[in-house]
Amino acid sequence: MSNKTDSEIEFNEVTSKLPKSLHSFIVKQPYKEYTFQNQAVWRYVMRLNVDFLKNVAHKSYINGLKLTGISIDEIPRMEGMNRILKDIGWAAVAVDGFIPPNAFMAFQAHNVLVISSEIRTIDHIGYTPAPDIIHEAAGHAPIIANAEYSEYLRRFGELGSKAISSDEDDKIFDAIRELSILKENPNSSTEDINNATRKVEEMQKNVGELSEMAKIRNLHWWSVEYGLIGDIDNPKIYGAGLLSSIEESKDCLSQSIKKIPYSIEAAETNFDITSAQPYLFVTPTFSHLSYVLEKFANQMCVRVGGLSSVEKVIESKKIGTIELSTGIQISSVFTRVISNDDKPIYIQSSSPTALSNNNKELIGHGTDYHKDGFSSPLGKLEGINLAIEDMSPKDLKAYGIIEGEYVELKFEGGILVRGVIITGKRDIKGKIQLISFKDCSVKYKDEILFEPDWGIYDMAVGKDVVSVFAGPADDDSFLDNYKLPTSTSEQIVYDDKSLHLHKLYAEVKEIRQSGGNIELQKISGIYNQIISNYHEEWLILLEIYEVLYETKYELRDSVKKSLLDLKKNNKFTDLIENGLKLIE
């Protein structure tokens, strides 16, 4: 499935605000590729879920289906959903399966619902580990019509997109994505699926120290995906994973599933994507979700700053941002920090860097200018209580920090900067954020950190690291900020027998929608073909039975008998029984 080019993406009031770095994840919804069997799968799951969920889901669910433009009878078109979603300040885009968590969160931060364009196959109609349009559109979308929950989602995306991840996170993501693609492709071999499953299970068992991203993904899983709400002894469903799974939506409310009050402990509780959940968390209200999120955010590097946060962003080996007490933000892949008394005194990157203020790149200080990296001392000058950032013009003159003059600046911790000041950059309030030198050398003990013949030295000003977060300060500074998945969903290739089956599904749909004008000969011919050539096709038999149910034709009883015979196969027992209850 190929990505759309920018010219093909239909932007609206919401999606037009997306950073360009996210555009590469958006694909054109392959509506023409959905088979009539796919449409029947959608209709079966939706009819069953709505019938069951109207009594057990949060009260926002049924109303939310209408408010978000989701049809029970047909797979929704993204354009149609967007026309309705814009009224509640949201939009939807199609993507190819799982996308990296930081990108997923960034879409959410911009009020954009990411919808996997695939739909589960009939073999995984009850539950699929892969994100699909049933999960995303019918699971996530309805609850965002609730204003309080909608704001929680947006805020979650905002904080989640800043969470620092690890190499281990990337490997687990790649393994889960590969497994989901294999499981949803009927052409995949059992051996490949089993190998991929074992790989995911092994990785999930051997997870080391949890990164910020791993913890916030846990919070997301136990709320947005698998959350229950209300009284712990009689909760309602609001998590998309539960709302979109026939099996788990019923099982989750039974006493066999342990219910735990939702708290910050959920961040430390890992989950297994390959199997049903043995316990679930219950939040009393949507506002409690926001309370827990804020409590977690207070522990994040974006709010804590300091040396440990700098070390985490270096360990991530990804683009991150270090913000100093002056407000200057340095975005790059950081490679080194020198510390003294548990405080960072020098930071360094060796790859393209952008400098920003208030999340807006400083003019002339983008990645083209700082293409080889950036480094700077931090902290106060030795023997001077007043930090450079707090100096008035008079103080600067008194300490010899004057444009056009040679100066020696020795920082606490031992970094020594010598050179001629060219100029300084101040913020709107007049606070110095950057000083540029020529003929500059920077030393730490006996180590040369910068030499005069390397060019202009730009020194960031700030006594403390107040914030560290994943990604750039200005989204437009790095268009390649997000790593595109290496694996892509393959278009399913159907053999002639399957293509003919899909044609039969189309004919049954046409008869059902014809308004009571049933051509007995035609539907009898379809039934005979199914019995002769498609021995396990229970769903089309249900659709035929639905068409015939109000009639007195003998064929109706023959179809029912065929369904009851198939029901003896444990694979189909619940599916057929549920379908018959819907019809009868």
Residue 178 near residue 198, CB atoms below 8 Å: no
Residue 58 near residue 152, CB atoms below 8 Å: no
Q: How far, in whole angstroms, is CA 581 from its chain's centroid? A: 36
Minimal CA–CA distance to 458: which of 334, 339, 380, 371?
371
Q: How far apart are CA 92 and CA 500, in angstroms?
A: 33
Q: Which residue has the tokens 């008035």?
A: 392
Q: Which residue has the tokens 């926002």?
A: 60
Please provide residue 444's backbone torsions phi and psi, each rounded to the nearest 5 degrees.
-135, 110
pTM of the entire structure? 0.88
DSSP-assigned states of every residue in 526-565? HHHHHHHH-TT-HHHHHHHHHHHTTS--HHHHHHHHHHHH
The domain 317-477: what is its CATH number?
A: 2.30.30.100
C-alpha distances (whole Å) from 460 to each of 145, 368, 376, 434, 476 are: 44, 18, 6, 5, 21
Angle in degrees, 0-180, between the axes of helices 554-567 and 520-533, rounded to the nearest 10: 20
DSSP-assigned states of every residue in 239-255? -HHHHT-HHHHHHTTST
Q: Side chain identity at 441, as an amino acid letter? A: S
Minimal CA–CA distance to 117: which of 13, 34, 6, 193?
34
Largest CA distance in the chain: 103
Angle in degrees, 0-180, between the axes of helices 286-297 and 147-160, rounded to the nearest 10: 20
Name residues of the chain where pLDDT drops below 50: 1-7
pLDDT at 9: 62
DSSP-assigned states of every residue in 195-223? HHHHHHHHHHHT--SPPHHHHHHHHHIII
Express each pLDDT in 175-227 by its tens digit: 877 777 777 677 778 888 888 888 877 777 777 789 999 999 999 999 999 99
Q: Side chain identity at 334, as an amino acid letter? A: F
Express each pLDDT in 273-322 by its tens digit: 777 789 999 999 999 999 999 999 999 999 999 999 999 999 999 999 99
Q: Give the DSSP H or E segment for 408.
A: strand 406-410
Give residues with Cβ within 8 angstroms of 382, minimum separation 6.
Answer: 410, 411, 412
Q: Which residue has the tokens 């979109």?
A: 244
User: What is the CA angle 75-146-250, rounded to 5?
Assistant: 60
pLDDT at 489: 65
Choosing among 1.10.800.10, 1.10.1040.10, 2.40.37.10, 3.40.50.1000, the CATH entry for 6-295 is 1.10.800.10
Q: How far apart are CA 150 and CA 265, in angstroms?
A: 23
Q: How far apart are CA 348 and CA 194, in angstroms?
A: 44
And the tokens for 23?
């555009």
And the tokens for 316?
């991530």
Q: How far apart are CA 400 and CA 409, in angstroms?
A: 9
Three-state DSSP state, 354: strand
Please provide residue 346's backbone torsions phi and psi, each rounded to the nearest 5 degrees.
-160, 135
Q: Where are the domains of the chain?
A: 6-295, 317-477, 496-583
